[in-house]
Structure 1
Amino acid sequence: MAPSKDIPDSISSRIAVAKRQHPELADLFHDITTYISTLTGSTQTNGHGPSSKKRKLEDEPSTAETYDSIADVSFSIPQRKKLKLEISRNRETGAIRGTSAATGETEFGIRYNDVDYCICLPVPEKAQPQYSFCVLPTSGDDQLLFSVPGTKIRPEAVHSDQPVDEEQSYKDVVISMLSKRMKKTKVIQPNEKDFSSTIAQAHRKGEKAVHVKAFRGSKDGFLFFLPTGIIFAFKKPLLFYPFHSIASISYTSVLQRTFNLNLTVYSTPPSPAAHNASSNTDTDTHEIEFSMIDQADFAGIDAYIKRRNLQDASMAEQRRAQRYNVNGTNNTNGGGGGEAEGEEGGELQKAQREADEMEDEDEEEDENFDPGSEGESEGSGSGSEEGDGVDADADGNLMETELGSEAEDVSE
């Protein structure tokens, strides 16, 4: 039973190897390939069907569609290419898509009605300003990520039914186009009032960073704390967690210079209107960990979490682990009110106080410990064992014996 001709050769060869290694699964492989053929047969061309992104836009009434466009836009997801960005003028059936400048063929795209979030982010660590647009569909598949320079737009690069001011930047023009065309989705941008990093950008002096560096497993990226949620960019896939999808946030693996941020998110998020952490305790959740965040940014992140009323689960029972060097020294003003100040300081400061108290107890035990008598007795014993074989009593008897013999000599 050979794999179906509709399956790509690269996959067919792997299926053949697997069948040789596990002949008992031959029937299963055959059934799977047959089923896939029935699903894709109507769209196959030379054994390779168009990607789901292309099929998604194939039913569009292309003859009735007109588009605003910007030339030479750099796409990163789903493919790394320079394409023409096209934004449909039809708000009802329109789409955002990338097309080849040479052939006019649509490479990929997403319908307006399928867009859940559209986020514009400054690209970190670039000497010249750049901005990336993250277009996130409701299903989570077929994300789009494209970037534009932060410079003034070249009028010849734009084709639009609305006037373009030469003083506008590429970012402003794209935001204007999208805002005018998309009905249900507005473009979200980070705001320094929500969060800004305390770490200076050496390459962009005077400009505050609105991101922090972080790792998700082995992938490095950037966390942005937005007015509507938290996004991890720019590796594929983009991870966005709106507030209503977050059950709690906690801090773990706290070291002197770094800490981890853990998001416990709902597997099936409640609707934004119905979101209430206390009323969703029975909903299935899973944890997402972002590691190696600079300790210098803790205060800003903690303030952001508190302002957004996100539940902090750092002191949950399963989190009661050793924590050291958390945000420097303990801050106490005396005169009562310590508990209130601890609440103001956040969970990491509470953990710091616990660590300090444990350290103080150890120091008190060290101060109360008197090794004198025990040490002396051990020292005496050691000396008697390692000396010339004559102990204190033997010395006394020896002296008495010697003096006694001398006294006898004198008396005689």
Structure 2
Amino acid sequence: MTTDQAFAALPDDLRAQVSKAIEQYPGTRNVFLALYSHLTDLNDSSTSKKRKLTPTPSSSNTTAAATTSSASPLNVDEDKCLRIPGVSVQIPLRKRLDVILAPGGLVILQKPGAHISDPPEFVLGATQIRAVYLLPIPEKTRPHWALLITQKAASSEPLLATITADATRTVIKPTGAAAGELYSGDINDMVLLYFQRQNIEPTSVQTLPPGQTFVHVSAHRGSKDGVLYFLPGAVIFGFKKPVLVFELGGIRAISYSSITSSTFNLIVKYKGDVDDEAVTETEFSMIDQRSFEDINRFVDYHGLSNESLAEERRAKVDAKAVFPDELIRASREESKKDQQEQRQPTGKSADSVNFANHEFDSEDDDDDADFGAGGDQNDEEDESGSGSEDERSEDEEASEDIGDSD
């Protein structure tokens, strides 16, 4: 930094005196610069301790601006903030940014490493939050959680971000021993505790009511794959944009269709709490039939209407399909079959070796030989092929977060 840059804000007469002193005594230049740096840092620290942030995001993010314009200012006290660096944010913008969990609300800074006093990218007050979900993302090589926050304003997009287990190591806790003791455990525990201290009870595996199990299944909506979560307050499909949140109070019915021995489709009939909102039907396909019992138990537990056998729904069921009672039996039989296969030893038994030495009718020898050779070859090809696909799948998933990020 040059002397002119450091003292550009000084009054003309004071700047002239500093310049004259440096000219006469060159050794004082470093002293003046050090003094300038110290005073600047001191001023930044004092202003950032208790800085009021009005929820006015940058102009580049019009969606976020529309959803936070009516919130009250937040007192961002650095001594009481939990800072999570490098969070992968997906909605309402796609960036890797620092998230500040401050008393009274959440602040997203404009760039990683930005000072807490810098203008924010996004501010969401606690009074604007409708619900918070902290959900594990399946099939990851290390723990990932999706932080999904819905807003009270019906027209507002939810906030969606991915938090990884690495954040336990990089999180910046509030300064001071007393404040730091409030956040312990892994990052998942810290985030849950933060929202609970804002009088918001988040939905997560840890906060499930007694007697309820955490149910999530892979599914497709059209060509888009994702995960269906069946939660105490909502059914959620994520986590690619748009994320679908069906609050239980708005679900008119759950139906099953296109039922086969291995998969089935699920249809959610839903109407939100907006008066003029129409009833919609959303269909999810390719759900493993072994998940049916858990899903059906969830539907019964929450008293949701099942219209699978309604007259208008029956016409959409394939003639070869089985109905829910038969699907339950198929699910149990499939589970038993899996358990039996796991108990069976691999490799050839003694009987199979002796069987190969028996004499057979000459007319069948050629066919049997061809069949055995072809079968062994195909088995080897299947095993090698499936292994490579699994390796590719694990490599791809390890480099991804939600959707195609992280």
Query: TM-score, normalising length from structure 1?
Result: 0.55
Match of 1:349 in 2: 325
Determine if the alignment matches structure 1 residue 146 to structure 2 residue 199. no
Q: 1:264: Cα distance to partner?
A: 0.8
Match of 1:286 in 2: 280
Match of 1:180 in 2: 197
Give the aligned length. 261
Residue 254 of structure 2 aligns to a residue in which SS?
strand
Match of 1:133 in 2: 147
Match of 1:77 in 2: 91
Match of 2:310 in 1: 316
Pairing 1:257-272 to 2, within 5 Å after superposition? 257-268=262-273
* Mapped contact 1:195–1:301 kept (Cα < 8 A): no
Residue 168 of structure 2 aligns to a residue in which SS?
coil
CA distance in 2, matches of 1:265, 1:59: 29
* Mapped contact 1:54–1:107 kept (Cα < 8 A): no
Q: 1:140: Cα distance to partner?
A: 4.7
Pairing 1:292-371 to 2, within 5 Å after superposition? 292-321=286-315, 322-323=317-318, 348-349=324-325
CA displacement 1:34-88 (0-9 Å, x = unmatched): xxxxxxxxx9x9xx76524146556767684334322222222222322111122
CA displacement 1:221-263 (0-9 Å, x = unmatched): 1001111121111011211111110011110111221111101
Residue 309 of structure 1 aligns to a residue in which SS?
coil
Match of 1:108 in 2: 122
CA distance in 2, matches of 1:240, 1:247: 14
Q: Which amino acid aligns with 2:298?
A: Y
Pairing 1:90-105 to 2, within 5 Å after superposition? 90=104, 94-103=105-114, 104-105=118-119
CA distance in 2, matches of 1:172, 1:297: 29
Q: Which amino acid aligns with 1:294?
A: D
My pick for the range that moved more, 131-140 or 219-228, is: 131-140
CA distance in 2, matches of 1:73, 1:98: 11
Which of 212, 227, 233 does residue 194 from structure 1 map onto?
212
Match of 1:89 in 2: 103
Q: 1:211: Cα distance to partner?
A: 1.4
Match of 2:185 in 1: 168
Q: 1:213: Cα distance to partner?
A: 0.6
Q: Which amino acid aligns with 1:266?
A: K
Q: Which amino acid aligns with 1:145?
A: L
Q: Which amino acid aligns with 2:239?
A: F
CA displacement 1:137-184 (0-9 Å, x = unmatched): 122523211122236823763336732478610111111112212x3x
CA distance in 1, matches of 2:327, 2:188: 43
1:319 to 1:152, Cα distance in 2 relative to 1, 3 A: same
Which of 50, 62, 81 does residue 51 from structure 1 map onto?
62
Determine if the alignment matches structure 1 residue 65 to structure 2 residue 76. yes
Q: Structure 2: where are the runs of 5+ without partners?
A: 1-55, 330-406
Pairing 1:216-235 to 2, within 5 Å after superposition? 216-235=221-240
1:325 to 1:110, Cα distance in 2 relative to 1, 3 A: farther
CA displacement 1:80-134 (0-9 Å, x = unmatched): 32211112213xxx44434423443322232222211110100111011111110
1:88 to 1:99, Cα distance in 2 relative to 1, 3 A: farther
Q: 1:351: Cα distance to partner?
A: 8.6
CA distance in 2, matches of 1:59, 1:244: 27
CA distance in 2, matches of 1:294, 1:316: 23
Q: Which amino acid aligns with 1:194?
A: Q
Residue 287 of structure 1 aligns to a residue in which SS?
strand
Residue 305 of structure 2 aligns to a residue in which SS?
coil
CA distance in 1, matches of 2:168, 2:251: 38
Tell which structure's C-alpha radius of gyration is larger: 1
CA distance in 1, matches of 2:101, 2:226: 28
For the aligned residues, what is the CA RMSD?
A: 3.5
Residue 230 of structure 1 aligns to a residue in which SS?
strand
Residue 293 of structure 1 aligns to a residue in which SS?
strand
* Mapped contact 2:64–2:92 kept (Cα < 8 A): no
CA distance in 2, matches of 1:258, 1:63: 49
CA distance in 2, matches of 1:307, 1:217: 28
* Mapped contact 1:249–1:312 kept (Cα < 8 A): yes
Q: 1:288: Cα distance to partner?
A: 1.1
1:319 to 1:105, Cα distance in 2 relative to 1, 3 A: same
Q: 1:326: Cα distance to partner?
A: 5.8
Q: Which amino acid aligns with 1:295?
A: Q
Match of 1:204 in 2: none
Which of 121, 124, 128 does residue 138 from structure 2 map onto?
124
1:99 to 1:178, Cα distance in 2 relative to 1, 3 A: farther
Q: Which amino acid aligns with 2:308?
A: S
* Mapped contact 1:221–1:235 kept (Cα < 8 A): yes
CA distance in 1, matches of 2:218, 2:123: 29
Residue 244 of structure 1 aligns to a residue in which SS?
helix
